[in-house]
A and B are shown apart, each in its own frame.
Chain A
Amino acid sequence: MREEVPLFYNLAKVKAVQNLLLSCLRTPIQALNKAIEQTVSAQLFPEKEVLFALKHLQNQLENGDLLSWAKQTAKNFPKYSALKKSGSVIASNRIKVVALLAGNLPLVGLQDALALMLFGQEARVKLSKKDPYLIAVLLGEILKSGFAPKLQYSTSLTDFSGFEATHWLFTGDDKNLNVVKSSLEQEAITLLNAPKLARKAGVSVCIINDQHTLEDSSFLEELGLAIYQYQGKGCRSVGVIVLPECLAFVEVVNYLRTVFVKADNAEKAMPDKIRYELAFLRACNFESAYINGMIFTQDATAWQQANKVSVIKEKDWVDGIIPKEAIQSIYHSSGQIKEGNLQGFEDLKSAQTPPLFWKPDAIDTLAWLITAK
């Protein structure tokens, strides 16, 4: 029997997938238009978010991100024969993977599905009921063209009963992880205690250096997008702002208010729930403010809810008040990244537009699969 080499080694095929997806997106095929309509009419996501996510995917593919991901992986794992020798499960044909896609943002789960396609082994993809249409269309096109013969997808986990995956991919906190693990094992979707890649990071942080940063209108525009694009949802959205000692909460809030308050929202009465939350935060001695649908507060734990942004002092940040494992990315303004030695920091501009091969929880999913034991 002819040995099947993982797709990421076959750059011509990867390029073909990239082009296939691009052709679906550039002039949206009928199925994709229908998926957009279904998503919006079922109120799964606002149209603005869906179109933003699709446009971003198109940009990623036009930049050649899928091909770059495959190229880089092939470079990092240069020889298939070496992988076989190293005992990597990829070569043993014993690996079977289940991916449970997150669905809190449109297309957020697509990266895992593409990683599995590049990986090329037996895989099952459980689409989120929050985002069942868009990814299904794109994966459907890939499957139709024969680029992922061992991959199947469904919105129902029971379709994968008895699959006995050796590995699985998951995004969420420990509480959900335990419930999910137990359900997967009960239905024999995974083997008992199968190794998993569980991404837990929940928030991104923006560090403000000085007054100058706040006077920079492009920086504020970027910050607004990083906070509001997905209404606070998603681990790349800014949920924590770190202030230098020289800046007071109220000063920053005033800056943000002038930029972020939109005319259409300014007139609306504050919902009772928000009025209650603000009163509670203030009772707890946390300075807090309501800006354009979100609460900005000194409470360092508030970021856990998507409608709140924690504004903390540099000293507390240095003291580790935000748990490291919760942080996805730390952003600086583009200008500062160019000027200074800010290794490990990301450009704020890319908060909602990362490359296709970005690393959730700093882990490259494809590399994890390749090196999984």
Chain B
Amino acid sequence: MSNFDTKKAFCILQRQIKHNQWFGRFAKALNCKENHQLSNFWEWPYISVDAFKKIDGFRCTDLKTYEMVFMSSGTASSALRAKHYVRELQLYKKYSLAAFYQKYPKELYATFAFLPAYSDNPNSSLVQMLQFIIEDDESETSAFLDLKNPTIPEKTTKKLQVENKKAVLFGAAFGLVDVAEKRALKLPENSVIIETGGMKTHRKEMTREQIKEVLASGFGIPKTNIHSEYGMCELLSQAYEQGDGWYECPPWMKVFARPFSQPFAEPIVNEIGQLYVIDLINEYSCSFLQLNDQGIVDENGRFQVLGRIPTAELRGCNYLMEQN
């Protein structure tokens, strides 16, 4: 966090206001000052992350070509799915690998990915990132696990022992929970699991704590070895949490919180609020986003995610378990 380059962020802000017509219009509608104060980053405009859903082609118009469109998963029709136009996949590769290796050094870990459902989404940023991580392993130990019969062969486990490496099992929470409950996959000792959240539309919704308990007991590893990744197709950067509940941002990402329903308030520390992010790798779309998640940010810029923000009152008659 302390390494975050506010000056660079400010340059990107000015460029995006100029070249991303929607973001520019948003800033104008809020009467944002022409010359934003460098120190008061919270006074900059932060557009709702829903812009990636509501605006087709939400990106800087100087981005003439793009190599990939990342799309959010979900059962929603494509019109309601977020789309993120990525100018250079190499840039995404560079920074997603750097963020990952900062926490899980290549020489110490081999990565195994288990991503049921994501295989139906060829535009998943998560699948793309894991592909980069797996391809980057010259020892060829890392791999995507078979979706029907996820196993890490004995041979691979031995190889890990010889190379003195640990296994990282990376997957969406709902898929990992299924495997854990069936006791269908034996992990080598000292393995680490990274879950990416996401229990939506899948049986009963579970809290992150419940997920961790199921995974720890199902895979027979300590709860502290259950880690999490915070990422989404709208962000080209990822943050990791390594068992203590706090996500840490890479130096090019900054997360802060404001009180609910106060989109212009000063950031709050160690209190629950709505999360906002600056992601400098989103250079050709928009780096300044209001997220739909709630959480806590501490004085070091680490953050916890505590689910979706309480939405404005929904129309219609709706029975809500937590309220009723």
Residues on A lying within 8 angstroms of B by beta carbon are 100-105, 108, 126, 128-130, 170-176, 178-180, 182-183, 199-203, 231-235, 237, 239, 271-273, 275-276, 278-280, 282-285, 299, 301, 303-307, 326, 328, 360
Minimum-distance CB pairs A-B, first 5: A202-B316, A283-B26, A279-B29, A102-B317, A276-B263
- A202–B50 Cα distance when bound, in Å, is 21
- A87–B156 Cα distance when bound, in Å, is 61
Which of B262, B316, B318, B321 has the most C-beta atoms of chain A within 10 angstroms of its own C-beta?
Answer: B316
Q: Which of A176, A275, A280 contacts B319 (CB 8 A)?
A: A176
Closest to A323 in B: B77
Contact A130 B324 (CB under 8 A): yes
Give, as a whole number of angstroms, the nearest-CB distance from B265 to chain A. Answer: 8
> What are 21 A-B contacts with C-beta separation under 8 Å?
A126-B324, A128-B319, A129-B324, A130-B323, A170-B319, A179-B205, A180-B319, A200-B316, A201-B316, A202-B318, A272-B264, A280-B50, A280-B51, A282-B29, A285-B22, A285-B55, A301-B80, A305-B311, A306-B312, A306-B315, A328-B316
Q: Is B120 in the interface zone, CB < 8 Å from A? A: no
Contact A307 B263 (CB under 8 A): no
- A129–B321 Cα distance when bound, in Å, is 10
Closest to B54 in A: A284
Give, as a whole number of angstroms, the nearest-CB distance from B136 to chain A. Answer: 37
- A300–B320 Cα distance when bound, in Å, is 24
Give, as a whole number of angstroms, the nearest-CB distance from A53 to chain B. Answer: 13
Further pairs besides A104-B316, A202-B317, A273-B263: 17, Cβ < 8 Å: A100-B324, A102-B318, A171-B319, A172-B320, A173-B316, A175-B200, A176-B318, A176-B319, A183-B204, A203-B316, A234-B315, A235-B317, A279-B29, A280-B51, A301-B80, A304-B314, A307-B312
Closest to B263 in A: A276
| Chain A neighbourhood of B318, CB < 8 A | 102, 104, 171-173, 176, 202
| Chain A neighbourhood of B290, CB < 8 A | 276
Q: Is B203 in the interface zone, CB < 8 Å from A? A: yes
| Chain A neighbourhood of B324, CB < 8 A | 100, 103, 126, 128-130
| Chain B neighbourhood of A101, CB < 8 A | 319
Q: Which of A172, A200, A276, A283 contacts B25 (CB 8 A)?
A: A283
Report the number of A-B residue pairs with Cβ-Cβ less than 8 Å.
134
Contact B22 A284 (CB under 8 A): yes
- A275–B311 Cα distance when bound, in Å, is 17
Contact A176 B313 (CB under 8 A): no
Q: Is B121 in the interface zone, CB < 8 Å from A? A: no
Contact B204 A202 (CB under 8 A): no
Given contacts A130-B324, A179-B205, A273-B262, whether A284 and B51 have CB atoms under 8 Å apart is yes
Contact B204 A178 (CB under 8 A): yes
Contact A283 B316 (CB under 8 A): no
| Chain B neighbourhood of A307, CB < 8 A | 312-313
| Chain B neighbourhood of A326, CB < 8 A | 316
- A100–B265 Cα distance when bound, in Å, is 39
| Chain B neighbourhood of A176, CB < 8 A | 318-321
| Chain B neighbourhood of A129, CB < 8 A | 323-324
Contact A104 B317 (CB under 8 A): yes
Contact A278 B29 (CB under 8 A): yes
Q: Is B47 in the interface zone, CB < 8 Å from A? A: yes
Give, as a whole number of angstroms, the nearest-CB distance from A101 to chain B. Answer: 8
- A22–B294 Cα distance when bound, in Å, is 47
Q: Is B246 in the interface zone, CB < 8 Å from A? A: no
- A232–B262 Cα distance when bound, in Å, is 22
- A278–B316 Cα distance when bound, in Å, is 22
Q: Is B210 in the interface zone, CB < 8 Å from A? A: no
Closest to A198 in B: B319
- A360–B205 Cα distance when bound, in Å, is 27
Give, as a whole number of angstroms, the nearest-CB distance from B235 to chain A. Answer: 18
Given contacts A283-B25, A283-B26, whether A232 and B201 have CB atoms under 8 Å apart is no
| Chain A neighbourhood of B119, CB < 8 A | none
Contact A305 B323 (CB under 8 A): no
Closest to B264 in A: A272
User: In residues 48-68 of chain B, which contact A (Cβ within 8 Å)?
Assistant: 48, 50-51, 54-55
Contact B313 A275 (CB under 8 A): no
Contact B321 A175 (CB under 8 A): no
| Chain A neighbourhood of B200, CB < 8 A | 175
Contact A232 B315 (CB under 8 A): yes
- A140–B243 Cα distance when bound, in Å, is 51
- A275–B324 Cα distance when bound, in Å, is 31
- A278–B320 Cα distance when bound, in Å, is 28
Give, as a whole number of angstroms, the nearest-CB distance from A192 to chain B. Answer: 14
Contact B316 A234 (CB under 8 A): yes
- A121–B80 Cα distance when bound, in Å, is 43
